[in-house]
Amino acid sequence: MAPLQVLSAFIASFIFMQTLGNSQTCPDCFTHSRAAHYPNSEEKGTETGSCGFGTFGATINGGDVSAASELYRNGLGCGACYQVRCTNSNYCSDKGVTVVVTDQGAGDRTDFILSQRAFARMAQTTDAAASILPLGVVDIEYRRVSCTYPDKNITIKIEESSDNPHYLAFVIWYQQGKKDITAVQLCETQNFVCKLLDRTRGAVWTTTSPPRGPLQIRMLLSVDDEDETWVVPVNNIPENWKAGDTYDSGIQADA
């Protein structure tokens, strides 16, 4: 082979490998998959989702929520947001719908089981939505996007099973941005001794014998176990916290 041909082949091979590498690491690229919708008559999500959000998990984001299979990631994926759009150009819009993961579930080779509201919102029009809903399962493409709640701070919801001062369980609402909450610490506000909490299921964090006094919750936000940042709320959980109460953290942490 002539030197010029060898050089041309090398350059072509290099460009191909660069393109392949970029496509595999592109954080904003779409992934092809399939999505179904909840088979019940509920337009919004379920109140018994695996993430442990309860009623909040059915109504957050206007009810545009979803169960996820592999993206559930043993609860780490709870609260993550995804742009999901179906691919049939006759019925589907380019924008699609942004959903929040609030449950775990899998269908026929699907990554998402959407609420019926979210499934219909992938369509261009109301008539188009009436056409895709009976299909049950459609081809889609999706990508992770930032969760945005402009008028909301991260909120701590104390689980009904909690019992002050013996047992504390809570979930974290309004998780902004594209990072995962990979760890949570509970700290005493007097001597600043902290302990790592257990993720017992979904987005539920728990501890036995929590410290007395006002409590500070610290959250570790990260992307693929990298770019880690500890976030410290402005507001503490009061000493007299009660099961069922919610507490505004005072921060949005939308990094």
215, with CB counted inside 10 A (0-12, 13-18, 19+), is: buried
> How does 77-100 read in b/e, with b if 16+ C-beta sit within 10 Å?
bbbbbbbbbbebeebbeeebbbbb
**255 residues of the chain, pLDDT tens digit each:** 555 454 444 444 444 344 444 434 687 899 999 999 998 766 888 999 999 999 999 999 999 999 999 999 999 999 999 999 999 999 999 999 999 999 999 988 999 999 999 999 999 999 999 999 999 999 999 999 999 999 999 999 999 999 999 999 999 999 999 999 999 999 999 888 999 999 999 999 999 999 989 999 999 999 876 789 999 999 999 999 999 999 999 999 765
Contacts of 38 (CB under 8 A, 6+ apart): 45, 46, 67, 113, 114, 115, 116
Q: At residue 127, what are phi and psi to the nearest 5 degrees?
A: -65, -40
54, with CB counted inside 10 A (0-12, 13-18, 19+), is: middle
CB 124 within 8 A of CB 108: no
What separation in angstroms does the CA of 117 have from each of 40, 145, 235, 254? 12, 19, 35, 26
Which has the closest alpha carbon to 182: 77, 109, 32, 25?
A: 77
Note the pLDDT of residue 123: 98
| Structure-token pair, residue 19 | 């393109």
Q: What stretches of the chain show up as alpha helix (H) in DSSP?
A: 3-25, 55-59, 116-120, 126-132
| Structure-token pair, residue 58 | 């059915």
